[in-house]
Chain A
Amino acid sequence: MNDRLDDLLGAYALDAVDPAERAEIEAYLAVDPRARAEVDAHREVATMLSFGGGPAPVGLWERISSALDADHAVPPPLRLPPSLRLPPPDPALVPTVVPVPAPVAPVIPLRRRPVGRPLVGLAAAGELAVGVAGGLAGGLALGRDSGRSAVSAADRYAAAAQEPGARRVELRSPAGDAVPAVVLPDGTGYLDSRPLATLPDGETYQLWAVTTSGRVISVGVLGNRPGVQAFTVGERPASLVVTKERTPEGVERSSEPAAYAGEV
């Protein structure tokens, strides 16, 4: 904390300091988040002072539009604000290869069903086998969005839904309740599990991905009060399934029926 520079924060927010002071304050803001937050708050107030501007002149948008880049045949790398970038999958969540002793528990082949119809009875013929093939690591990004962030859950979800190739999925329960998800071509996506009911302490929801070859892998646990979570599977899955598990850590092999399921 620097009292001398703190006294200048209001003036700085209104661009009312000289260049040398501006440089000094910017160096200060880079290391003091409290001061940075104060400047941001002052600027929001200044925004209020500017309300009631009126319309922009005719023809100005056309001049701006003509100065934009031409459309790209191959989209260049995405330029996302830092707080919207999907974090890389946490290695701690990536399931390790589980050696399966003989006799091998059968991987339940998934019959493809029309979109929207629940995959009930997934575990009826046996357990969900958990395994990982090369390149099919899955993971949930930590940092469940509780809705308190300035970047709302709706923004994150909506941003992913705007991506080219994004697929909206509805995971449905046998009763027809829906949990939405967005899956991108590279296997990343968001699950908006806010519609799920809170489970008792000691239980958890768990997300599974079913690959096109029928293998079932655990993507991760959602907790007992889930929100919007990013997830990563090594490739676009064929289906997503949510189960309710009786342990907070989730399970490697599930004997629970699919609570919600949907085809991608």
Chain B
Amino acid sequence: MTPPLSDLSDTTLVVGVARYRHEALAELYRRHAGAVFGLARRLLGDSATAEEVVQEVFLRLWNAPDRFDPARGSLRSYLLAQTHGRAVDMLRADGARRRREDRDARNTVDAGYDLEREVTDLAVAEYVRRALEVLPDGERKAIELAYFGGLTYREVADRLGEPEGTVKSRIRVGLKRLRAELLAAGVAMGEG
């Protein structure tokens, strides 16, 4: 008897996507679309544009599932990297950063959201918050401006009034330090 889709790993579902199975993509959407939309919306500040990014990311997974290599990391990491890259490109292309400054009121409705994963997400978010607190201010600000502000490291350096080399190092060292903190706290990474 075939196990239910909800029991299958992300990697197994990607194989299903490779076989053109809509239900496999639907299950992956159920698991990850919230995180994808949340990141896109946080960067772009606009729900409609964020939805476009979600659509692009999942259609790209449908059209090219072989681009995801499970040996290199989790599917969520892959999807969020795609999301972030696309959102940053849009930010830089048409000044959408200005619109992000005037955020919409949240207007999301629960649509089959994965409650179990939401609880896990909130627990992990708490670990992340604590790990961020451990970072020196300079590292934390550099990472936040780069990742959530969509700025290049040169723009971050300009914003903070720091040398570019210092900002590059802080981003790299800060990410390594965060990883060490999260691993020490028992947060699993790279699993799908």
Contact = CB atoms under 8 A, between A and B. Distances in A.
A49 interface: yes
A201 interface: no
A4 B70 CA distance: 29
A58 interface: yes
Contact of A65 (B26, B38, B173): B26
Contact of A7 (B9, B121, B169): B169
B15 A54 contact: no
A251 interface: no
Contacts of A45: 175, 178-179, 182, 189
B131 to A, nearest CB: 8
Nearest to A80: B18
A11 to B, nearest CB: 4
A252 to B, nearest CB: 36
Contact of A16 (B37, B54, B55, B153): B153
Given A10-B171, A65-B26, A155-B70, A50 B34 contact: no
Interface size for chain B: under 10, 10 to 19, 20 to 34, or 35 or more residues? Answer: 35 or more
A84 interface: yes
A58 B98 CA distance: 26
A78 B88 CA distance: 32
A71 B187 CA distance: 40
A80 B20 CA distance: 11
A259 to B, nearest CB: 27
Given A54-B34, A158-B8, A43 B14 contact: no
Contacts of A57: 37, 47, 51, 107-109, 111
B44 interface: no
Given A65-B22, A158-B12, A48 B62 contact: no
Interface string A137-160: 000000000000111101100110
Contacts, number: 242
B27 to A, nearest CB: 11
Contact of B58 (A52, A64, A83): A64
A160 B66 CA distance: 16
Contacts of B182: 45, 48
B14 to A, nearest CB: 6
B88 to A, nearest CB: 4
Contacts of B84: 14-15, 46
B55 to A, nearest CB: 5
Contacts of A152: 9, 11
A93 interface: no
A120 interface: no
Nearest to A37: B72
A47 interface: yes
Interface string B158-192: 00000001011101111110110010000101100
A81 B68 contact: yes
Interface in A52-78: 52-61, 63-65, 67-69, 71-72, 75-76, 78
B11 A16 contact: no
A7 B165 contact: yes
Given A48-B189, A162-B2, A16 B66 contact: no
Interface of B: 2-3, 8-9, 11-12, 14-16, 18-20, 22, 25-26, 29, 33-39, 47, 51, 54-55, 58-59, 62, 64-74, 76-77, 80-81, 84-85, 88, 107-113, 118, 121-122, 124-125, 127-128, 143, 146-148, 150-154, 156, 165, 167-169, 171-176, 178-179, 182, 187, 189-190
Given A15-B146, A79-B18, A150-B72, 8 more contacts: A11-B168, A46-B175, A47-B77, A52-B118, A54-B113, A55-B109, A69-B20, A151-B70
23 contacts: A10-B174, A11-B153, A11-B167, A16-B156, A40-B72, A42-B179, A46-B81, A47-B189, A48-B187, A51-B124, A51-B128, A53-B36, A53-B37, A53-B121, A58-B111, A60-B55, A61-B111, A64-B25, A75-B19, A79-B64, A81-B11, A81-B68, A161-B2
